[in-house]
Amino acid sequence: MTTSAWIFLTVSWTMVTFAAGWCLYRVVVRKPDDGPRPKGSA
């Protein structure tokens, strides 16, 4: 693989993996200061 291909692959993968991971973390594992989620709330 060429260096430019590596760069595009690494940057793209890192970006989307980090974004998806951060969002899922925030949704699944809520921070304590967010307070309790209302019961039955989606």
Partner 1 sequence: MTSKERWASRIGLVLAMAGNAIGLGNFLRFPRLAAQYGGGAFLIPYFIALIVFGIPLMWLEWSMGRFGGRYGHNTTAGMFHEMWKSRAAKFIGSLGISLPLLFAVFYTYVESWTLAYSCFSVTRSYTDDSPRNETKPEKQTKVPSHDGGETTTTRQFLQEYQGVAETENRRFFDSLWPAIAFWIVTIALNGWVISNGLSGGIERLAKIAMPLLFLFASVLAVRVLTYGTPDPAQPDRSVANGLNYIWQPNFSALADFKVWLMAAGQIFFTLSIGTGTIQCFASYLKPDDDCALTGLTTATTNEFAEVVLGGTIAIPMAVATFGVATTQSIAAEGSFNLGFVAMPVIFEEMTAGWIFGAMWFLLLFFAGITSSVGMFQPFVSLLQDKYGASRRTAAGICAAIMLGLGLPVVLWLKTGYMDQFDFWIGTFGLVVLALAEVVVFAWLYRPADPSKPDRRLAPGEGFWREMTHAAEIRIPGITYYLLRYFVPLALVTLLAGWTVQSFREAILLEGTPVEHQSYLWAARGCIVAVVVAVAVLVRFAGNRKSVEEESS
Residues near partner 1 (CB under 8 A) are 1-2, 4-9, 12-13, 15-17, 19-20, 22-24, 26-28, 34, 37-38, 40-42
Q: What share of the chain is helix, strand, coil (3-state, %, to 5)?
A: 70, 0, 30
Closest CA to 42 of 20, 27, 21, 24: 27
Which CB, 34 or 36, lies closer to partner 1?
A: 34
Q: Which three-class secondary structure state does DSSP give residue 34?
A: helix
In the bound state with partner 1, the residue whose beta carbon lies nearer, of 5 and 32, is 5
State the minimum distance, in angstroms, from the CB of residue 3 to partner 1. 10
